[in-house]
Structure 1
Amino acid sequence: MQRWSSEQVLGLASDAASVRAGQGLARIAKWSSAGCDERAVWGLCQGSGAKPYQTSVDLDGPAFRCSCPSRKFPCKHALGLLLLWSAGVLPAEAEPAWVASWLADREARAGKADQTDDAKTEKTAEPADPEAAAKRAAMRADRVASGVAELEAWLADQIRHGLSGFEHRGYDELGRLAARMVDAQAPGLAGAIRRAAGVIGRGEGWPGALLEELALIHLTVQAHARLGELPAPLAETVRARIGWTVETARVRNEGEKVDDEWLMLGQVVEPDDRLTVRRVWLRGGDTGRIGLILNFAAPGRQLDLLPGGPGDVVPGTLAYYPGALPMRALLTPTAEPKQGARPTGTTVDEALASFAEALGTDPWNERLPFVLAEVRPARRGTGWALVDAAGDAVPLFAGVDPWPLLAVSAGEALTVAGEWNRAGFRPVTCWHQDRAVALA
């Protein structure tokens, strides 16, 4: 098995504290009886107790086992062990009995699960009822139409009455409206309404931000009324914004497919109490096409392992989801990843012009990746920005820590990849000479 990069290993961590703790244990002096083979890594790490912790990782899962009391998966011991393996430090050894026994138990349980799945498949292998499926789709369409009509009436009321006093009543009112959209099976509209609620009272310019969010919701409502008249790609975008999903099988079978060598521009991971979301941005070396790989994980579950790290090039095929501005896609690698060179970038002015063009195609588009060339981090008012050679600047996202960029730059110009939205620019990777440095 090809060794993972350190970025891939640290991408498994549940939080920043686990990353720091895992890096602290990535020293061979802290381990005994450590080794690896084609399917697992293992080792003993002395903790605060009398007996060392037994740590093992099934590389095929990955799956983790450690005798430490941590409730995090993977724990810091598993991360430290994997970092040593990633660096090529662990010797190739025969599996000790406690590792072989654990792997055998996992294989046995997997075999039983496969048999159960096969039995279920045999029982449910009857052909689907297309008439029943059509009825369900029609019922949902009616529910969505009813919810959209109610939302349109509410928006009309706000136009007549204005937003005066909205800071007192708006949050609860929007919360009830979002719940109504969930009942109407329009989760995309529910999410848009929650985003509108989130700007109430935040900063001096919140009324303008709220009006902008409500205007986008109104645009969705109006587009839904003309769904049959819209070009097919734009209609797919509107349906997605309302909350209709596209099956993965349909994307793989019917989606636009593009073969290229895809540069991994970087990733953004946004965890919360309900769902961890990861966005991975790609750019084709020959086509210049942008790809967005979305991954989701429920609380306590790990995100899928990436085929490479920031700055790597992954030969493969992207199958794109339908839409007016297709970016989201499914990646099928066709060869092993390799280290990429520093990418070409654009000026700030060119990047913002491309964002304006993207909004003309898809007015609901929330973010777009940029690769900025020859930029330096600099103070701008109370925040930070990236400034290019012409003196044009993009403000950094409010939550971005500028110090990693400053440390790499040391006053020199950098190539920086990141994602831009209305809140600012979020750097994800920078290149110092030809070396990629992950920032997120």
Structure 2
Amino acid sequence: MTQQAVRWTADQVLTLAPDAASRKAGSKLGAAGPWSGAGRSDEGTVWGLCKGSGSKPYRTVIDIADSTGPAYTCSCPSRKFPCKHALGLLLLWAGSGDTVPRGQAPDWAEQWMEGRRERAEQKRTTGGVSGAAAGDPEAARRRAERRAERITAGAAELEQRLKDVLRGGLAAAEQAGYGLWEETAARMVDAQAPGLAARVRELGAIPSSGPGWPVRLLEECALLHLLVRGWLRRERLPDGLAATVRSRVGLTGSADGLPVRDRWLVLAQYDTSDGHLTTRRIWMYGTESGRTALLLSYGAAGRAPELALPVGLAVEAELSAYAGAGQLRAALGEQFAPPSPMEIRPPGMSPAQAAARYGAALRDDPWLDSVPVTLDRVVPIPDGDSWQLAAADGDLALPLTPAARTRAGLWRLVSLSGGSPVTVFGECGHHGFTPLTAWPEGSGEAVTLC
């Protein structure tokens, strides 16, 4: 069996679904019934014809060996990415070699793959440099300066608004409602500071959000004020912290770190959306370097981002880090082999060590919501109306975040554990722990919880 033909599990396929509805619809198409002419090549291409509501079947092709995760095309009118037909075909391929045999790709599938090969070759020969990127560096410098000036003006205005809020009292902020914060956020968007805008919108959701909201609002206002002051005095900061401040206000910079080639285990993948932009987070663990990295990709207007990697598999590739003190974000570079199974898991730690790691990370980035950690030998146990992950060999435990307690993944975790210790990867922060992926004691496949 070639490396490209290594089968995924159904769970790994379904982690690529853009939403719950697509996951459900794709699962229904994961059987041989609606498919005809399905096949696969040794190069990592899978194709098939899926019967739909029209007279002609939908043509679906998937490039499993693509460097940024599976690439798809389908003749259906769906705007989701991947569509339910692509998910169904992947499930069919993952289930049995008999239903998707090796063969010669039809012309329509080969034409799509040939177009992909031509674009990849063009990108390789040009170095992936666009005309805008290769333009006048002096003009680029002037644009950066003008944007920095707009952000500075916006930051100064935001600082004054925070002072006005505190001077008027938190009770007045509750009476003003969300409109006060939405107007301020719009001003930050005008100032080209999306990071500041996002934090302002988060402030608007705190008043009247439950017991203790004034304390939470004051804490978040203080952190936002600290970020504003950091931007206004960024020239006095150490280089790493200055880069972190720029990233937090919305200047992402570039992934100019030295590429690290490794076998990167895909730990977790999940999406968040603010109604305008869908953000996909993919956590990776370098099995040789021991580094943990975060890949971010975006989809506009409710569309899922294109980058997608199957959880639980490893990808041999290069990753380049972004600048910033303690920053884990990286960019995916060249991939040298398609995703394949791997038995290695990231080293685990206790709940106490996880909390200590988050505390240490805050020294480099005071605005950090959480850090990625792997908890070793923990057991999910109820705690009143909540849940926590308790050390199997000790008395310490981490509470689960409110968001984690409402996900179906919690019950999947409880079922996987059955009262026995499990290994859990997730994000540990000031709200608690959010489990994302789990492994049973000993050997076993990764189980996604998000």
Q: How high is the TM-score relative to the length of structure 1?
A: 0.85
The alpha carbon displacement at 1:410 in A equals: 1.4
Give yes or no for contact 2:279–2:299 (8 Å, CA) kept in 1. Answer: yes
Q: Deviations over 1:17-53 (max 9, x none)?
A: 221222232223453433233464344455677x573
**Correspondence for 2:296:** 294
**Correspondence for 2:102:** 92
The alpha carbon displacement at 1:386 in A equals: 1.0
- Residue type at the aligned position of 1:56: T
Give yes or no for contact 1:44–1:52 (8 Å, CA) kept in 2. Answer: no
Give yes or no for contact 1:66–1:78 (8 Å, CA) kept in 2. Answer: no
The alpha carbon displacement at 1:342 in A equals: 3.9
3-state SS in 1 of match to 2:420:
coil
**Correspondence for 2:361:** 358
Give yes or no for contact 1:313–1:340 (8 Å, CA) kept in 2. Answer: no
The alpha carbon displacement at 1:431 in A equals: 0.8
Q: Deviations over 1:259-295 (max 9, x none)?
A: 4443322222224532221111123334432211111
Identity of aligned residues (%): 42
Aligned residues: 426
CA–CA separation in structure 2 for the residues paired with 1:14 and 1:213 = 31
Equivalent of 2:156 in 125, 149, 161: 149
- Residue type at the aligned position of 2:390: V
The CA RMSD over aligned residues, in Å, is: 3.3
Equivalent of 2:24 in 17, 20, 36: 20
Does 2:135 correspond to 1:159?
Answer: no
The alpha carbon displacement at 1:113 in A equals: 12
3-state SS in 2 of match to 1:377:
strand
- Residue type at the aligned position of 1:232: D
258-267 vs 343-352, greater mean Cα deviation:
258-267
**Correspondence for 1:10:** 14
CA–CA separation in structure 2 for the residues paired with 1:349 and 1:421 = 12
How do 1:84-233 and structure 2 match up within 5 A?
A: 84-89=92-97, 90-95=100-105, 99-101=106-108, 103-104=110-111, 128-233=135-240
Does 2:108 correspond to 1:83?
Answer: no
CA–CA separation in structure 2 for the residues paired with 1:354 and 1:265 = 19
Equivalent of 1:65 in 60, 74, 96: 74
CA–CA separation in structure 1 for the residues paired with 2:116 and 2:229 = 52
Give yes or no for contact 1:266–1:310 (8 Å, CA) kept in 2. Answer: yes
3-state SS in 2 of match to 1:399:
helix
CA–CA separation in structure 2 for the residues paired with 1:123 and 1:431 = 43
Equivalent of 2:46 in 32, 41, 45: 41
Which has more radius of gyration?
Answer: 1
Q: Deviations over 1:28-83 (max 9, x none)?
A: 3453433233464344455677x57344214267233256x766454433321221
Give yes or no for contact 2:297–2:307 (8 Å, CA) kept in 1. Answer: no
Q: Deviations over 1:170-218 (max 9, x none)?
A: 4211111111111222221111111111222211222111111111111
Structure 1, gaps ≥5 residues long: none
3-state SS in 2 of match to 1:221:
helix
How do 1:302-381 and structure 2 match up within 5 A?
A: 302-306=304-308, 309-332=310-333, 333-336=335-338, 337-381=340-384
CA–CA separation in structure 1 for the residues paired with 2:190 and 2:318 = 38
Q: How high is the TM-score relative to the length of structure 2?
A: 0.84
**Correspondence for 2:57:** 53
**Correspondence for 1:418:** 426
CA–CA separation in structure 2 for the residues paired with 1:123 and 1:311 = 34
**Correspondence for 1:394:** 398
Q: Deviations over 1:226-253 (max 9, x none)?
A: 2111110000011111222213xxx2xx
Q: Deviations over 1:374-423 (max 9, x none)?
A: 11111112111111121222122223332101111111110100112333
3-state SS in 1 of match to 2:403:
coil
3-state SS in 2 of match to 1:280:
strand
Q: Deviations over 1:330-358 (max 9, x none)?
A: 23344454413344311101110110011
How do 1:216-295 and structure 2 match up within 5 A?
A: 216-247=223-254, 251=255, 254-295=256-297
CA–CA separation in structure 2 for the residues paired with 1:176 and 1:298 = 22
CA–CA separation in structure 2 for the residues paired with 1:232 and 1:126 = 24
**Correspondence for 1:434:** 443
CA–CA separation in structure 1 for the residues paired with 2:439 and 2:161 = 49
